[in-house]
Amino acid sequence: MTPTDRRAFLALLAAGTTLPRAVTAQPAGRVYRLGILAPTAAPPPSEQNVAVILIPKALRAMGYAPGRDLVVDVRYAEGRFDRLSELARDLVRRRMDVIVVIGASAARAVRAATSTIPIVLYGNIDPIAAELVKSLAKPEGNITGVLIAPAGTLAGKKLELLKEAVPGAERIAFLAPADPGIKLQVHETQQAAATLGIKLTVTEVQAGDYERAFATLAAGRPEALFVGAHTFFVRDRKRIIALAAKSRLPAMYEWPMHVEDGGLMSYGSSLAGTTRRVAVYVDRLFKGARPGDLPVEQPAEFQLVINLRTARALGLTLPPSLVARADRLIE
């Protein structure tokens, strides 16, 4: 183990993460093959806060070493969902020991390609409603997973917080990726909007053209923006944040990194924590656990992060009660 990996491993222990037994010593001579299928393009070298990087990093912290006992094969669909099936079949042909899938569309593609290779789903979806598992406690079949949000997608809670930040908002725009897997999240947000008396308009980003999407949503004269939780919007967050600022739209995002980069607010689980749990599941499956016996994990802790600088730039006075409930404030 390198000094860097050792420090990461100790950090995991200090954080109280539950790791499998004997994580620093894998069976001699065994090389494990991990496939990862993502709908996005490969992240730029400067981007380290994405699941496809954090999951192998967590495995290294647990004692696995690429080139010694671990091979990681990452496939990117580059936004072309029609390529997911082909990429899934290729990973199956290469006899992966475990395949991690990012999002529902990738999960469906891999499940169609294999009924035997263990699949670990990672994403912000309801896997029961998406018909990927029978139940969270006993998923059955060859799929288990780690969810970013419990009992749905957290869309209702996030919309409620955005409405609290902008009390007078009656029209809110929902920015969605061109991914069929987003439908459940959109539906959940629409239900929450109806309960809150909000007119919600959904604008889809086609072919990565964010400028056109913002021009389209501006026609509805929204008073706030709800950015859908999706890996595309993690990768492209700086473009979205810049356009939201230009449009003077208070916006709700998925992860604290969005707020650190200038977004107004985010609410959700920990990216580092959930990806570590994916690595723990991969380790257990490498060692013989059956995916159908591993419950689909749901996060139990969530963070509300608010950027007060962004609020001031928007001329937005946030309710003191909302600010007081924030887990983190960026001044």
Single out the residue of 236, 275, 225, 229 nearest to residue 254, CA to CA: 229
Per-residue pLDDT tens over the stretch 183-198: 888 999 999 999 999 9
Using alpha carbons, list the distances in angstroms from residue 278 to 44, 113, 222, 285, 291. Answer: 22, 21, 37, 11, 12
The predicted pLDDT at position 46 comes to 83
Tell me the average pLDDT across 241-259. 97
The predicted pLDDT at position 35 comes to 98
The predicted pLDDT at position 28 comes to 59
The predicted pLDDT at position 129 comes to 87
Residue 219: HSE in the Cβ half-sphere, 13 Å Cα cutoff = 7
Using alpha carbons, list the distances in angstroms from residue 14 to 8, 9, 17, 95, 276. Answer: 10, 9, 8, 35, 13
Task: Report which of residues 24 and 104 the model is more confident about.
Answer: 104
Tell me the average pLDDT across 187-213. 95
DSSP secondary structure code for residue 144 in this structure = E
The predicted pLDDT at position 291 comes to 96
The predicted pLDDT at position 21 comes to 36
Tell me the average pLDDT across 233-260. 95
CATH number of 155-268+303-330, picked from 3.40.50.2300, 3.30.450.40, 3.30.70.100, 3.20.20.370: 3.40.50.2300
- CATH architecture, range 3-148+270-293: 3-Layer(aba) Sandwich (3.40)
Mean pLDDT of the chain: 90
Per-residue pLDDT tens over the stretch 20-66: 433 444 555 799 999 999 999 998 888 888 899 999 999 999 999 99
The predicted pLDDT at position 18 comes to 39
Q: Is residue 312's pLDDT more than 90?
A: yes
* Tokens (6 digits) for 226: 């709800």
Cβ contact 177:204 at 8 Å: yes
Cβ contact 146:168 at 8 Å: no
Q: Is residue 151's pLDDT more than 80?
A: no
Tell me the average pLDDT across 273-278. 95
Single out the residue of 220, 131, 112 nearest to residue 173, CA to CA: 220
Give CATH 3.40.50.2300 domain extents, the chain. Answer: 3-148+270-293, 155-268+303-330
Single out the residue of 46, 227, 239, 53 nearest to residue 124, CA to CA: 227
Q: Is residue 99's pLDDT more than 90?
A: yes
| pLDDT grade for 260, boundaries at 50, 70 and 90 | very high
Distance CA 250, CA 32 (A): 46
Cβ contact 141:112 at 8 Å: no
